[in-house]
Amino acid sequence: MTTCRKILIATRNPAKVREIKAILSGIPIELVSLDEIDPERKIPEPEETGKTFAENARAKAAYYAQATGLWALADDSGLVVDALNGAPGVRSARYAADECNNDENIDQANNAKLLRELAGIEDEKRTARFICHLTLSDGQKSLIETTGVINGRIAHHPRGKNGFGYDPLFLVPELNCTTAELSPEQKNAISHRGQAVRKFAARLKDFLNVSPTAPIKNTNKE
């Protein structure tokens, strides 16, 4: 095993940071968030211009690795709704941005817009999935990439107070509850991000044991 390496979790979303840190806690690495190394927000956010979650994750990871000199772990994730032809998709975090100028209320605005768009759509046609793509970059190349997916359905009204984003509306039929009704441990066990981070953890352990610099090809299909 190499000496302890510092890895940047390239997000300012505290909920994402908590989820990722919880799953990677058993690996001898130092994890820092953007808010920890850049509390004054001197590093501007990159534009997300990719057409897929994978493209955005790769671009963000490379950008923040180059900006900080650290290995950077970035995710791009979102909700894909079949009845909306895949929307909100890569625009999940800013789905209702034109209706909300307050970042603190964007989740509520996104959920409200989603419910309006699905008004009158029956249960069997409200199928959806959460997708998460993770990329670790050294600034020059992607070192590790993993993907996680969870299938479900969009509820007719919000349920639960845990989680964030679309969790109050994402119903897991097998459990008859939304991901916002699950505890953090229960959610991490089944969520798209939990799946992707666990795959990442396994590959990172192997990666650090084999070589601190050799890239590992992505085995996930986009």
CATH of the domain at 191: 3.90.950.10
Lowest mean pLDDT among 12-16, 36-40, 41-45, 116-120: 12-16
Show the tokens assigned to 4: 């302890």
Count the domains in the chain: 1
Mean pLDDT of 85-97: 95
The domain containing residue 136 runs over which residues?
A: 5-210
Establish if 215 belongs to a structural domain: no
Examine the residue annotation and report whether 76 is marked as an active-site residue of this protein.
yes
Q: Could you tell me the pTM of the whole model? A: 0.86
Sign of the Cα torsion 122, 125, 126, 127 reads: positive
- pLDDT tens-digit readout, 129-168: 999 999 999 999 999 999 999 999 999 999 999 989 999 9
Q: Residue 134: what are its φ and ψ, rounded to 5°?
A: -110, 140
- pLDDT tens-digit readout, 26-71: 888 999 999 999 999 999 999 889 999 999 999 999 999 999 999 9
Q: Are 165 and 13 in contact (CB under 8 A)?
A: no
Q: Active-site residue among 35, 38, 75, 76? A: 76
Establish if 189 belongs to a structural domain: yes
CA distance 16 to 37: 16
